[in-house]
């Protein structure tokens, strides 16, 4: 994060003696890009290297589904049964070398701590609230939040109520788009959100507790469990630029215009070879001749995944909250026959959706296969047939108010 934060006690200068009840604390520099990127400095009661036992290493296996045909897809995730916890319950939908996208509806609580050792995470909270307990302090979250967790953050979910998460994990960095920041890192005027919309951990709770604690670390294509003899949240203070934070999709200020605004106006985060965008309720194009739904477009260099959160897509048969449309590269997509005409005069949309565009092809999982409706690719054709009624013309795909 391009701004400085500090919680708890830190010494006057870095790299000098700092004691707690006479005991010299262990200083840990958590940093990116060697020692030149963003970093935070944490002060531990115990060495964070101290491992009592090595637990099991469990490789992550993605079961790939290679479809018989290359086509647009519609996955319906609403009815997915809960399983696992906030980590083990992540079920991969699609992935490539830059990002893994999974759905999580946990049914259990975490009885261990987790750390993504080699990747950043964005957890979009579709349903539920709670607290992400972290070594940087408590991070409250609620429905509509993006929870952004940098690699190296040890954490544990304390959920309240049923949870439904859309999870992005990446070996690259999750960043605020470069064009939203000036050379000092401040978010510029004209960006769709500001620093006040970004919420770092609120309180640091230093836990002084001996025992046996399991820390599961995502590393080297799997999860390695370590048993440590001191509670991982033994930090008395930290400062720096690296910490978990939340940003609510409801705080994204949509950019609208006289005629259609292209998808980059919805960009929320930048990743390595992908972007995450938020489509929020907004006024639509106001030119008298505007066509307030998008033009057809071909994703010549990207794949487009859209997760529908809430709002008015009842006008699109089959697309509901929890639906995912996937428009893979190499194919055009856009409004279905008749929709452009029907959209004329529409001035606002209530839909809420999260989009991830990747610049390299995504692989699909067998989990995605089981959610695929198998007919979405045909919806542009069927709605162009004689006899297709207005409801039919409103069917799946690029909807009346959609950005697609």
Nearer to Fe ion, 87 or 404 (CB): 404
Comparing CB distances to Fe ion, the nearer of 234 and 285 is: 285
Judged by beta carbon, residue 106 or residue 397, the one nearer Fe ion is: 397
Q: C-beta of 297: minimal distance to Fe ion in Å?
A: 6
> At its nearest, how many Å lie between Fe ion and the CB of residue 263?
6
Q: Provide, rounded to whole angstroms, the least separation between the CB of residue 144 and Fe ion.
A: 23
Q: Distance (Å, rounded) from C-alpha 196 to C-alpha 187?
A: 10
Neighbours of 239 (CB within 10 A): 17
Beta carbon nearer to Fe ion, 10 or 404: 404
Q: Which is nearer to Fe ion, 131 or 268 (CB)?
A: 268
Indicate the residue whose CB is closest to Fe ion: 404
Give the residue among 74, 273, 77 at the shortest CA–CA distance from 164: 77
| Residues 343, 50: Cα–Cα separation, whole Å | 62
Contact 363, 259 (CB under 8 A): no
Positions touching Fe ion (CB under 5 A) are: 304, 404
User: Closest approach of Cβ 307 to Fe ion, in Å?
Assistant: 13
Which is nearer to Fe ion, 153 or 267 (by Cβ)? Answer: 267
369 and 77 in contact (C-beta within 8 Å)? no
CB distance 339 to 394 below 8 Å: yes
Instruction: Give the DSSP H/E element, type plus range, for residue 381.
Output: helix 379-382
Pairing status of strand 113-116 against strand 210-219: parallel
Q: How far is the CB of 362 from Fe ion (least distance, A)?
A: 14
Smaller CB separation from Fe ion, 256 or 329: 329
For residues 138 and 292, give the distance between their C-alpha atoms in angstroms, rounded to a whole number.
42
Calpha distance 324→275 (Å, rounded): 16
Spatial contact of 276 and 304, defined as CB atoms under 8 Å apart:
no
Calpha distance 136→145 (Å, rounded): 18
Smallest distance from Fe ion to CB 294, Å = 7
Burial classification of residue 206, based on how many CB atoms lie within 10 Å of its CB (0-12 exposed, 13-18 middle, 19 or more buried): middle
Which CB atom, from 176 or from 355, has the smaller least distance to Fe ion? Answer: 355
Q: How far is the CB of 304 from Fe ion (least distance, A)?
A: 5
Task: Determine contact, residues 59/221, Cβ cutoff 8 Å.
Answer: yes
CB of 89 to Fe ion, least distance (A): 29
Which residue, among 271, 239, 252, 102, has the nearest Cα to 171 in the 3D structure?
271
| Cβ 357 to Fe ion shortest distance, Å | 8
Distance, CA of 398 to CA of 404 (rounded, Å): 5
CA distance linking residue 324 with residue 74, whole number of Å = 6
Nearer to Fe ion, 149 or 277 (CB): 277
């Amino acid at each position: 994060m391009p701004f400085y934060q500090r919680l708890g006690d830190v010494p006057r200068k870095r790299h000098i003696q700092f004691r707690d009840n006479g005991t010299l604390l262990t200083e840990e520099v958590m940093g990116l890009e060697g020692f030149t990127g963003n970093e935070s400095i944490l002060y531990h009661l115990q060495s964070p290297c101290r491992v009592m036992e090595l637990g099991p290493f469990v490789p992550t296996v993605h079961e790939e589904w290679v479809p018989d045909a290359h086509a647009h897809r519609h996955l319906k995730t609403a009815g997915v049964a809960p399983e696992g916890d906030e980590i083990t319950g992540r079920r991969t939908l699609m992935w490539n070398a830059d990002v893994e996208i999974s759905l999580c509806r946990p049914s259990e609580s975490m009885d261990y701590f987790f750390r993504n050792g080699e990747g950043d995470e964005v957890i979009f909270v579709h349903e539920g609230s709670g607290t992400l307990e972290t070594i940087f302090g408590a991070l409250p979250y609620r429905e509509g939040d993006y929870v952004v967790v940098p690699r190296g953050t040890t954490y544990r979910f304390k959920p309240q109520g049923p949870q439904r998460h859309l999870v992005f994990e990446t070996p690259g960095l999750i960043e605020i788009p470069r064009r939203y920041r000036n050379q000092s890192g401040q978010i510029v005027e004209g960006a769709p959100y500001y620093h006040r919309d970004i919420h770092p951990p609120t309180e640091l709770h230093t836990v002084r507790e001996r025992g046996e604690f399991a820390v599961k670390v995502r590393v080297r294509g799997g999860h390695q469990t370590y048993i440590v003899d001191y509670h991982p949240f033994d930090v008395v203070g930290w400062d720096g630029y690296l910490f978990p934070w939340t940003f609510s999709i409801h705080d994204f200020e949509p950019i609208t215009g006289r005629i259609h605004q292209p998808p980059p106006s919805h960009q929320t985060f930048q990743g390595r070879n992908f972007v995450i965008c938020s489509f929020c309720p907004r006024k639509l194009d106001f030119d008298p001749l505007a066509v307030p739904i998008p033009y057809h477009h071909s994703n010549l260099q990207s794949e487009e995944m859209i997760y529908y959160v809430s709002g008015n897509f009842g006008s699109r048969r089959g697309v509901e909250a929890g639906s995912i449309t996937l428009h893979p590269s190499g194919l055009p997509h856009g409004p279905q026959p008749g929709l452009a005409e029907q959209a004329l005069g529409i001035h606002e949309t209530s839909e809420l959706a999260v989009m991830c565009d990747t610049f390299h092809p995504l692989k699909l999982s067998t989990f995605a296969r089981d959610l695929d409706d198998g007919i979405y690719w045909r919806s542009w054709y069927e709605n162009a047939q004689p006899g297709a009624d207005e409801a039919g013309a409103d069917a799946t795909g690029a909807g009346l108010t959609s950005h697609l």
